[in-house]
């Protein structure tokens, strides 16, 4: 029986045990890995990502009143809020992602029916795999089905993004949500965040991705993420004033143009801008390399991406740098970089499949030598996107 089938059964049993009845709908949504294209989504750029074989399940059943009773099965905590007017919680912050989704659905069509709901997942927290987007997407699917609302994938992604902005206080782009709903088994997802076009890109079956979770703490909500986004916006406004062509986002600026006009920016803003501009160029080059079967060249771009994260965007940390530095010397490892917002979490490495077990052991040993405990390692499979099950 596939792993997702076991998890569906577990979510159904947990719902039955807690609420005394079976759910009407159960949905699942995967976490995501950002393979290449760091912090480009909100700069209207391009990204290569993958939906993964770890996710969140969301079970719902209608209530006779207008109350949502929401339980986090992993921590056995329950909150209640009115379906028509959900407000952010200052204490049970995990529930804000669902509250924000319910608010977004209300904007499409006012919800009149309450619900019992339970979430249960297996995404490693703090690993940079976007458990929040997975929760938003499976909650959106389940509540929409319960209310008879039909949504497109981009509409769902935007509802999840708005939940992050308004209810969690993180000005994220659409990468996490769009990856979670648009995943295709065995493929990477190429997303253009200006046109919102999505394509799939194959990758050699002789390679796989290895996730190395440092358990280093994220610091996204404390302002570090938002500060960098604001620097990108300042940079885009500057380039719009000095370049002869139209600039609405850093997507419209090349590295050559950045260097030519760098003197007009302070050093920090220039380096912040250099990261997503360079990432856009690396993603386009990477898609071309993958289509040619050049996985070594693609791996080199992953290393270059992390180097830019470390020095330009400064969203890496010593734990992540240790793993990427180690990756250069492990046989069979073709490339490695941080994945996600940064400031902690995980490194993703592209590895020859035949070498993955030895590579995983080498990463764990190197990390333990430096920090006293091994990092967690998991082989990641590219998964299908969010769905009702």
pLDDT given at position 1: 39
176 is catalytic: yes
Q: Is residue 163 domain-shared with residue 216, that is, in the same domain?
A: no
Question: Two tokens at 83?
Answer: 């379906």
SS3 assignment for the chain: CCHHHHHHHHHHHHHHHHHCCCCCEEEEEEEEEEEECCCCHHHCCEEEEEEEEEEEEEEEEECCCCEEEEEECCCCEEEEEECCCCCCCCCCHHHHHHHHHHHHHHHHCCCCCCEEEEEEECCCCCCCCCHHHHHHHHHHHHHHHHHCCCCCHHHHHHHHHHHHHHHHCCCCCCHHHHHHHHCCCCCEEEEECCCCEEEEECCCCCEEEEEEEEEECCCHHHHHHHHHHHHHHHHHHHHHHHCCCCCCCHHHCCHHHHHHCHHHCCHHHHHHHHHHHHHHHHHHHHHHHHHCCCHHHHHHHHHHHHHHHHHHHCCCCHHHHHHHHHHCCCCCEEEEEEECCCCCEEEEEEEEHHHHHHHHHHHHHHHHHHHCCCCEEEEECECCCCEEC
The residue with tokens 């076009």 is 197
- Interatomic CA distance for residues 65 and 114, integer angstroms: 6
| Domain stop point among 184, 217, 233 | 184
Q: Is residue 375 domain-shared with residue 277, that is, in the same domain?
A: yes
Rounded (5°) CA angle 59-13-388? 30
Assess if residue 288 is contained within a domain. Answer: yes
- Interatomic CA distance for residues 320 and 306, integer angstroms: 9
Assess if residue 256 is contained within a domain. Answer: yes
Assess if residue 365 is contained within a domain. Answer: yes
Rounded (5°) CA angle 5-385-52? 75
| Domain stop point among 117, 150, 184 | 184
Q: Provide the β-strand partners of residue 82.
A: 67
Q: Is residue 171 domain-shared with residue 30, that is, in the same domain?
A: yes
345-352 vs 387-388, strand pairing mode: unpaired
- Interatomic CA distance for residues 162 and 168, integer angstroms: 9
CATH of the domain at 300: 3.30.70.890
Q: Is residue 172 domain-shared with residue 122, that is, in the same domain?
A: yes
Assess if residue 271 is contained within a domain. Answer: yes
Assess if residue 199 is contained within a domain. Answer: no
pLDDT given at position 129: 84
Q: Is residue 177 domain-shared with residue 222, that is, in the same domain?
A: no
Assess if residue 43 is contained within a domain. Answer: no
- Interatomic CA distance for residues 376 and 83, integer angstroms: 39
Q: Is residue 108 domain-shared with residue 150, that is, in the same domain?
A: yes
Q: Which of 176, 252, 280, 355 is catalytic?
A: 176
Assess if residue 195 is contained within a domain. Answer: no
Q: Is residue 263 domain-shared with residue 166, that is, in the same domain?
A: no
The residue with tokens 């969301």 is 58
| Domain stop point among 138, 153, 184 | 184
Q: Is residue 113 domain-shared with residue 219, that is, in the same domain?
A: no
pLDDT given at position 186: 87
pTM for the whole thing? 0.86
Assess if residue 163 is contained within a domain. Answer: yes
Tell me which residues of the chain have a pLDDT lower than 50. Answer: 1-2, 221
CATH of the domain at 124: 3.30.230.10
Q: Is residue 117 domain-shared with residue 233, that is, in the same domain?
A: no
**The total number of structural domains that make up the chain:** 2
Q: Is the dihedral of CA 375, 378, 382, 383 positive or negative?
A: negative
CA dihedral 137, 138, 139, 142 (to 10 degrees): 120
Q: Is residue 232 domain-shared with residue 311, that is, in the same domain?
A: yes
- Interatomic CA distance for residues 48 and 287, integer angstroms: 8
Smallest CA-to-CA distance from 118 within 3, 30, 29, 13 is with 13
- Interatomic CA distance for residues 134 and 102, integer angstroms: 15
Domain that holds residue 176: 3-37+49-184
Q: Is residue 167 domain-shared with residue 295, that is, in the same domain?
A: no
207-216 vs 115-121, strand pairing mode: unpaired
Q: Is residue 94 domain-shared with residue 154, that is, in the same domain?
A: yes
pLDDT given at position 4: 56
**Is the Cβ–Cβ distance between 101 and 139 less than 8 Å?**
yes
């Amino acid at each position: 029986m596939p792993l997702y089938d076991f998890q569906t059964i577990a979510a159904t049993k947990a719902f039955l045990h807690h609420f005394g009845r079976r759910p009407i709908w159960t949905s699942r949504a995967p976490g995501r890995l950002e393979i290449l294209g760091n912090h480009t989504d909100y700069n209207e750029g391009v990204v290569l990502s993958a939906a993964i074989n770890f996710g969140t399940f969301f079970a719902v059943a209608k209530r006779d009143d207008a109350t949502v009773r929401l339980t986090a099965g992993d921590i056995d905590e329950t909150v209640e809020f009115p379906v028509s007017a959900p407000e952010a919680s200052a204490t049970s912050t995990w529930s804000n992602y669902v509250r924000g989704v319910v608010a977004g659905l209300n904007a499409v069509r006012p919800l009149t029916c309450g619900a019992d709901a339970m979430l249960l997942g297996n995404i490693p927290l703090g690993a940079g795999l976007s458990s929040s987007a997975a929760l938003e997407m499976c909650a959106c699917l389940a509540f929409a089905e319960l209310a008879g609302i039909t949504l497109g994938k981009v509409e769902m992604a935007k509802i999840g993004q708005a939940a992050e902005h308004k209810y969690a206080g993180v000005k994220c782009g659409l990468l996490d949500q769009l990856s979670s709903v648009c995943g295709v088994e065995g493929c990477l997802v190429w997303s253009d965040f200006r046109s919102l076009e999505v394509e799939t890109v194959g990758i050699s079956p002789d390679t796989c991705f290895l996730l190395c979770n440092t358990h280093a703490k994220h610091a996204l909500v404390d302002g570090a993420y938002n500060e960098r986004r604001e620097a990108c916006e300042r940079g885009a406004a500057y380039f719009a004033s000095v370049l002869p062509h139209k600039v609405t986002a850093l997507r419209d600026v090349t590295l050559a143009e950045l260097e030519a006009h760098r003197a007009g920016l302070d050093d920090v803003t220039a380096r912040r801008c250099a990261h997503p501009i360079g990432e856009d160029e690396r993603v386009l080059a990477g898609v071309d390399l993958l289509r040619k079967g050049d996985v070594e060249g693609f791996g080199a771009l992953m290393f270059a991406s992390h180097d830019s994260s470390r020095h330009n965007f400064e969203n890496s940390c010593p734990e992540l740098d240790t793993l990427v530095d180690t990756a250069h010397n492990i046989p069979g490892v073709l490339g490695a970089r941080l994945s996600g917002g940064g400031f902690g979490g995980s490194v993703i490495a592209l590895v020859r499949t035949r070498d993955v077990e030895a590579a995983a052991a080498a990463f764990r040993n190197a990390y333990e030598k430096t920090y006293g405990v091994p990092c967690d390692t998991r082989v990641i499979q590219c998964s299908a996107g969010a769905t009702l099950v």
